[in-house]
């Protein structure tokens, strides 16, 4: 479980996160949604200690994030950043392998190599595995980055907009892969999504943020109401149902 207690963040006195209290249970998929600038990436970056905690407390299965040894943290939690820059003169296989670094510290064993091959297969990257990352399309690179994050083998994966640059086929494939990983391997995915219908279709839970606070938290059915969506995104949209899931007609 990831426990976030009373976490606030500000940059030069401008409040970005306002007293967040949130409990993310182990297992399943949580989608984090909300408008641009709501604080989603800031919250993930604090959970993953990409920036120091200013106030409050965050623990991962009881381990306090601010004082945990880096290696211990990296064995529990992996993050795909929204702006993930990548060393380009690596092949896809080398990049995915790099996800194992917290386990092997630069000297991969057979198990690490085997897990990297499994990650290439899981995200259907075998055909691209010998390509240099800087020769890939945006969507191909994004999939390789997700595979690297998965390959780290942590209980918790934080993915900041993993569907960026993906076409409809690959976006659906990726969400289905993450669903399978959550169901079959009991891994926990916390995913920032702008596509509310992907969240509705694949997440167990939706946490909605706006202006540095959490304004809704629950199952897709509970969160995706017309009133909630208006409070989150600032305009009225229709909601229908398809295959037992809410379908938000946000584009009309
Ligand atoms: N280093 C920084 N210095 C000052 N302000 C920042 C900094 N990083 C983020 N912010 C501000 O914090 C707020 C939240 O940013 P954040 O990146 O967390 O939003 P987000 O919900 O991830 O948005 P998006 O959907 O656009 O990715 C924004 O108003 C942003 O301008
Ligand atoms: Mg963001």
Chain segment 228-241, per-residue pLDDT in tens: 999 999 999 999 99
Tokens 């211990």, residue? 72
Secondary structure of 31-75 in HEC code, one letter for each residue: EEECCCCCCHHHHHHHHCCCCCCCCCEEEECCEECCCCCHHHHHC
Distance CA(39)–CA(236), nearest Å, equals 22
Q: Is 91 helix (H, G, I), strand (E, B) or coil?
A: strand
Q: Which of these ranges, 52-66, 74-88, 187-201, 214-228, has the smallest mean pLDDT?
A: 74-88
Taking alpha carbons only, the member of 192, 194, 219 closest to residue 206 is 219
Ligand 1 neighbours by CB, cut-off 6 Å: 11, 16, 34, 36-42, 82
Percent of the chain beyond pLDDT 70? 100
- The pLDDT, as a whole number, for residue 86 is 74
Which residues lie below 8 Å from residue 218, measured CB to CB, with a gap of 6+?
A: 205, 206
Percent of the chain beyond pLDDT 90? 92
The two beta strands, 77-80 and 156-160, are parallel
Mean pLDDT value across residues 96-101: 93
pLDDT in tens, 5-40: 999 999 999 999 999 999 999 999 999 999 999 999
Where does the pLDDT of residue 85 fall: very low under 50, low under 70, confident under 90, or very high at 90 and above?
Answer: confident
Atom of ligand 1 nearest to the CA of 43: 18
Mean pLDDT value across residues 97-122: 92
Torsion of CA 57, 61, 65, 70, to 10 degrees: 180
Whose C-alpha lies nearest to ligand 1, atom 6? 11
Domain boundaries, the chain: 2-76+154-249, 86-153
Ligand 1 centroid from CA 171, angstroms: 24
Atom of ligand 1 nearest to the CA of 82: 27
- The pLDDT, as a whole number, for residue 69 is 95
Mean pLDDT value across residues 194-221: 97
Mean pLDDT value across residues 160-174: 94
Question: For residue 159, what are the CA distances in angstroms to 101, 147, 211?
Answer: 18, 11, 21
Distance of CA 21 to the CA centre of its chain: 19
pLDDT averaged over every residue in the chain: 95
Tokens 């120091």, residue? 52
Q: Which CATH number fits domain 2-76+154-249: 3.40.190.10, 3.90.700.10, 3.40.50.300, 3.40.50.2300?
A: 3.40.50.300
Distance CA(136)–CA(132), nearest Å, equals 7
Query: 115: burial class by Cβ within 10 Å (0-12, 13-18, 19+)?
Result: buried
- The pLDDT, as a whole number, for residue 105 is 86
Which residues lie below 8 Å from residue 80, measured CB to CB, with a gap of 6+?
A: 145, 146, 149, 157, 158, 159, 160, 162
Taking alpha carbons only, the member of 11, 83, 16, 30 closest to residue 202 is 30
Tokens 């149902």, residue? 241
Pocket test for ligand 1, best of 37, 47, 211 (most atoms within 8 A of CB): 37
Mean pLDDT value across residues 139-166: 95
In this predicted structure, the answer to whether residue 84 has a pLDDT above a threshold of 80 is: no
- The pLDDT, as a whole number, for residue 56 is 98
pLDDT in tens, 44-79: 999 999 999 999 999 999 999 999 999 999 999 999
Whose C-alpha lies nearest to ligand 1, atom 25? 36
In this predicted structure, the answer to whether residue 183 has a pLDDT above a threshold of 80 is: yes
Ligand 1 centroid from CA 217, angstroms: 21
In this predicted structure, the answer to whether residue 87 has a pLDDT above a threshold of 90 is: no
- The pLDDT, as a whole number, for residue 106 is 84
Whose C-alpha lies nearest to ligand 1, atom 30? 37
- The pLDDT, as a whole number, for residue 175 is 95
Distance CA(54)–CA(145), nearest Å, equals 29
């Amino acid at each position: 479980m990831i426990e976030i207690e009373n976490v606030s963040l500000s940059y030069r006195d401008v409040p970005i996160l306002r007293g967040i209290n949130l409990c993310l249970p182990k297992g399943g998929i949580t989608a984090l949604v909300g408008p641009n600038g709501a604080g989603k990436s800031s919250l993930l970056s604090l959970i993953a200690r990409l920036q120091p905690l200013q106030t409050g407390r965050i623990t991962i299965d009881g381990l306090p994030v601010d004082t945990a040894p880096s290696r211990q943290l990296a064995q529990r939690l992996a993050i795909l950043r929204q702006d993930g820059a990548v060393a380009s003169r690596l092949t896809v296989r080398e990049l995915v392998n790099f996800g194992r670094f917290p386990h092997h510290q630069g000297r991969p064993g057979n198990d690490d190599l085997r897990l990297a091959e499994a990650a290439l297969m899981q995200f259907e990257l075998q055909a691209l595995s010998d390509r240099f990352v800087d020769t890939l399309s945006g969507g191909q690179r994004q999939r390789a980055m997700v595979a690297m994050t998965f390959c780290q083998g942590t209980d918790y994966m934080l993915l900041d907009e993993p569907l960026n640059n993906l076409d409809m086929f690959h976006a659906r494939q990726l969400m289905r892969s993450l669903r399978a990983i959550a169901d079959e391997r009991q891994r926990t995915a916390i995913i920032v999504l702008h596509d509310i219908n992907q969240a509705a279709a694949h997440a167990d839970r939706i946490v909605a943020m706006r202006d540095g606070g959490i304004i809704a938290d629950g199952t897709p059915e509970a969160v995706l109401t017309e009133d909630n969506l208006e409070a989150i995104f600032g305009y009225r949209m229709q909601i229908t149902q398809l295959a037992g899931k809410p379908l938000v007609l946000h584009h009309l």
